[in-house]
Amino acid sequence: MKQLIKFAIVLVSFSLWGQTSPSQEDLKVGLVLSGGGAKGLAHIGALKVIEEAGVRIDYVGGTSMGAIIGSLYAAGYTPHQLDSIFKQTNFNSLIQDDLPRGVKSFYEREDSERYAITLPFDKFKIGFPSGLSKGQNIYNLLAYLMAPVENVKDFKELPIPFFCIGTNIETGEEVLLDRGSLPQAVSASGAIPSLFSPVEINGKLISDGGITNNYPIEEMKKRGVDYIIGIDVQDSLVNRKKLQSAFEILTQVNNFRTIKDMKTKRKKTDLYIKPDITAFTILSFDEGEAIINKGEEKAKEFTADLELLAQRQKSSEKKPRRIQLSDSVYIHNIRISGNNNYPRNYIRGKLKIDTDTKVPYQDISEGINNLSATGNFKRVAYELKEVGENKKDLNLIVTENENNTSLRLALHYDELYRSGALLNFTRKSLLLKNDILSLDFIAGDNFRYDARYYIDKGSYWSIGLHSRYDQFSKSVPYSFVLNNFNLGDYNVNKITVDSQDFTNQIYAETFFLKSFKFGMGAEHKYTALETETIIENNDNQEVPFTILEQSNLFSAFGYLEYDKYDNAYFPCHGLRFMGDFHAYLFESKASFDFSPFYIAKGYLGYAFSPIHKFSFRVQAETGFRIGETEMNALNFTLGGYGNHLVNNLIPFYGYDFVSISGDSYIKGLVEVDFEPFEKNHISFGYNIANVEDDLYSTGNWFSAPDYTGFGLGYGLETFLGPIELKYTYSPERSESEWFFSLGFWF
């Protein structure tokens, strides 16, 4: 009996040895990666441990963030490369489609720095965007990272075969994505509802695969693998304290099904890894490093199992993988498809990519962003097709935005215009395919409007019509009024001045290198300065105010501008230059004797960041009048703080709005900005100026400054625009001024 037992033990031992012997067995391992937004970064940490254990992955399947990381791993990236890539990625800019300011035209920059909310307005019905982001930045990044495998159209032919899951949002059906364009498929799988717009693939509108199958283990079993490793980063249910937004509630509702499904799916997983990431949310990208570490920590608990698994695979098949990225590609030709309303030359003009030359991938990405910034396209995709040795065609696939009408909203408060609520109506392709009509109506303490019609011809001469009405009331020292207007000597300290400006322009402009524009045109301007504080027209009791000045001016003008600032309100890098010249040639119904006069002004600013989190801005500007005139409404008036001020109002620290006036001025500014946290700014500035009539004739422009001021402020970038609080002080006045502004300036 003892001999029989010994024989049985030996037989079992030989059997087990045969199962683990590389010559007898080679287990094919499938890897399933769940979706989970930012939590999916834990996949990277787990992959590090899996590779260190020596396990060969033979198939990868994933959903949403699992699809993104899984596809890159399948394409040839190592876990350490993925770690480096995602640590260097600014996810806030990526998710928000935060396009660099430099890729936008001047017109597009003005729009993005003016309106907080944009809503579709098709057939006079207000709609809502299909997502907060089009996902264009994510696609651009994926297309670049996947360039080495861009010719692979069947995902089984990747270095590691791959598939991912999407959801047909029209039918609610699960969609298997295992062929076609890899970056497009992965973008669709990761298109979280309400956050990203769905992606159209083969006529189907596809969104986040997590809606239907967030852990595609059944599909992996169909692939003929012997062993499945699953990494689960799905959300758990949370209590009511953490359900504070519509997005969080929608996520919780979707989790009901996925958590229930996992009870079955977990049993089908041979090695189940679930990192402890309950402390994070699907948007915790700023804590990416901690999430990656959590994935690594959890996977290390299974190191022994992973090493045993590796021993059951043939070592000769474990080929080292490392992907190599190229900085550029030779573009032979550009082919465009999907365009119906926008002609090829318009798209090529925005793309700004030459053919039969080597093009950096960065230029391709910028060209795609140029098109995206127009707002005329839902999505812009591209493929690079091999057409010869080291030559490729750029196949551009555009999806035009069907909606050409929108409503846009903004809110603002400042110390000059006070409160303002802006409602904008925008219609594209009104008369021509490349025209834009924009109407701003501003209600609040001071009614204003801004109407623009623009025919965009890219680098050719574009034509525009512009009409604007501004008004504000400001209490100023009576001495200031006496210095500028002919009023009697009254025993008052201050007087309230009501300002009106109605300006109409027709102009033509052209652009060079996207950041430089030159234009010229004709202008009609009506200005009126009035006061109800003092009434001098006693002979006409029907007029309860005194007209300080009134004019109807007709002028010709020219301008040029170069703008490479990275941020209009808080620039850290770049150069900005502006020059403007107006010739006021005719007048009707003036309250003064008119003779032609000319006004010129210029601005030069430079921003740089020599130290991390610190940036510096130096600025010089000047303006002067040529010719004698009794008109004072267009004098250069310094004081206050802000942007996009009407006419020749010039911000100046240490003084209130409308404090210093003259027909010429010169000003300098030095400012330092400290950004302790992203989009938070602490600034300190010092400005100097000389202001007087005939400044350059007297030579006083080169003398010691007559006016100085300091400014200390805090600013916050929000979706409404900047929120700023400024404390300013003037040494010569020994007085301070506070300024507060909220929202984009308009």
**Residue 14: predicted pLDDT:** 34
For 223-280, list the strands marked E by DSSP: 227-231, 271-273
* pLDDT band per the 50, 70, 90 thresholds, residue 628: confident
Residue range 247-256: mean pLDDT, rounded: 64
* pLDDT band per the 50, 70, 90 thresholds, residue 10: very low
Residues 476-498: tens digit of each pLDDT: 888 787 777 777 777 778 889 99
Higher-scoring residue by pLDDT: 732, 203: 732
**Residue 1: predicted pLDDT:** 41
Residues 565-615: tens digit of each pLDDT: 999 999 999 999 999 999 999 998 766 778 899 999 999 999 999 999 999
Side-chain-side CA neighbours of residue 152 (13 Å): 23
* pLDDT band per the 50, 70, 90 thresholds, residue 24: very low
Q: Which of 687, 665, 670 is nearest to 600 (CA)?
A: 665
Higher-scoring residue by pLDDT: 682, 256: 682
Residue range 38-60: mean pLDDT, rounded: 95
Residues 181-220: tens digit of each pLDDT: 999 999 999 998 877 889 999 889 999 998 899 999 999 9
Residue 699 DSSP class: T
Residues 661-672: tens digit of each pLDDT: 999 999 999 999
Rounded Cα distance between 198 and 192, Å, is 8
Contacts of 353 (CB under 8 A, 6+ apart): 331, 334, 359, 363, 364, 367, 394
Four-point Cα dihedral 303, 307, 312, 316, nearest 10: 130
What is the DSSP annotation of 506-533?
EEEEEEETTTEEEEEEEEEEEEEEEESS
Distance of CA 245 to the CA centre of its chain: 23
Residues 539-568: tens digit of each pLDDT: 554 556 688 888 999 999 999 999 999 999
Rounded Cα distance between 325 and 309, Å, is 32
**Residue 257: predicted pLDDT:** 67
Q: Is the pLDDT at 108 greater than 90, yes or no?
A: no
What does the block give as tokens for 65? 């963030």
- What is residue 162's three-state secondary structure? strand
The pTM score is: 0.74
**Across all residues in the chain, what is the average pLDDT?**
88
Q: Which of 469, 466, 444, 440 is nearest to 454 (CA)?
A: 466
Q: Is the pLDDT at 452 greater than 50, yes or no?
A: yes
**Residue 640: predicted pLDDT:** 95
Rounded Cα distance between 216 and 228, Å, is 11
Residue range 294-304: mean pLDDT, rounded: 96
Residue range 346-370: mean pLDDT, rounded: 88
Q: How many CB atoms lie within 10 A of CB 499?
A: 22
Contact by Cβ (8 Å): 138, 187: yes
Residue range 222-231: mean pLDDT, rounded: 95
Query: 3-state secondary structure string, 454-474?
Result: EECCCCCCEEEEEEEEEEEEE
What does the block give as tokens for 687? 């400005």
**Residue 246: predicted pLDDT:** 59
Distance of CA 345 to the CA centre of its chain: 26
Residues 389-445: tens digit of each pLDDT: 889 999 999 988 888 899 999 999 999 999 999 999 999 889 988 899 999 999 999
**Residue 12: predicted pLDDT:** 36
**Residue 245: predicted pLDDT:** 62
* pLDDT band per the 50, 70, 90 thresholds, residue 282: confident
Q: How many CB atoms lie within 10 A of CB 640?
A: 24
Contact by Cβ (8 Å): 393, 387: yes
Higher-scoring residue by pLDDT: 662, 515: 662
**Residue 567: predicted pLDDT:** 93
Q: Per mean pLDDT, which range of 220-224, 256-260, 660-664 is the poorest?
A: 256-260
Residues 236-245: tens digit of each pLDDT: 666 666 666 6
Residue 636 DSSP class: E
Amino acid at 185: A
**Residue 107: predicted pLDDT:** 77
Residue at token pair 């907080």: 116
Sign for the pseudo-dihedral over CA of 428, 430, 435, 439? negative
List beta partners, residue 148.
none
Contact by Cβ (8 Å): 193, 133: no
pLDDT above 90 covers what percent of the chain? 60
Contact by Cβ (8 Å): 94, 88: no
1-5, 455-459, 503-507: which is most confident: 503-507
**Residue 13: predicted pLDDT:** 36
Residue at token pair 């683990």: 20
Q: Show contacts of 559-564: CB within 8 Å, 24+ apart.
A: 559/518, 559/519, 559/520, 560/516, 560/517, 560/518, 560/519, 561/106, 561/516, 561/517, 562/515, 562/516, 563/106, 563/109, 563/515, 564/102, 564/515
Rounded Cα distance between 726 and 186, Å, is 46
> Could you give the angle at which helices 361-373 and 344-351 cross, rounded to 10 degrees?
120
What is the DSSP annotation of 306-358?
HHHHHHTS-GGG---------SEEEEEEEEEES-SSS-HHHHHHHH---SSEE
Rounded Cα distance between 223 and 119, Å, is 45
Q: Is the pLDDT at 20 greater than 60, yes or no?
A: no
Rounded Cα distance between 637 and 657, Å, is 8
* pLDDT band per the 50, 70, 90 thresholds, residue 221: very high
Residues 688-730: tens digit of each pLDDT: 999 999 999 888 888 899 999 999 999 999 989 999 999 999 9
Give the DSSP H/E element, type plus range, for residue 726. strand 721-730
Q: Is the pLDDT at 168 greater than 90, yes or no?
A: yes
Rounded Cα distance between 401 and 556, Å, is 38
Residue range 162-176: mean pLDDT, rounded: 95
Rounded Cα distance between 61 and 67, Å, is 7
* pLDDT band per the 50, 70, 90 thresholds, residue 252: low
Q: How many CB atoms lie within 10 A of CB 12?
A: 10
Q: Is the pLDDT at 5 greater than 90, yes or no?
A: no
What is the DSSP annotation of 575-624?
EEEEEEEEEEEEESS-SS----EEEEEEEEEEEEEEETTEEEEEEEEEEE
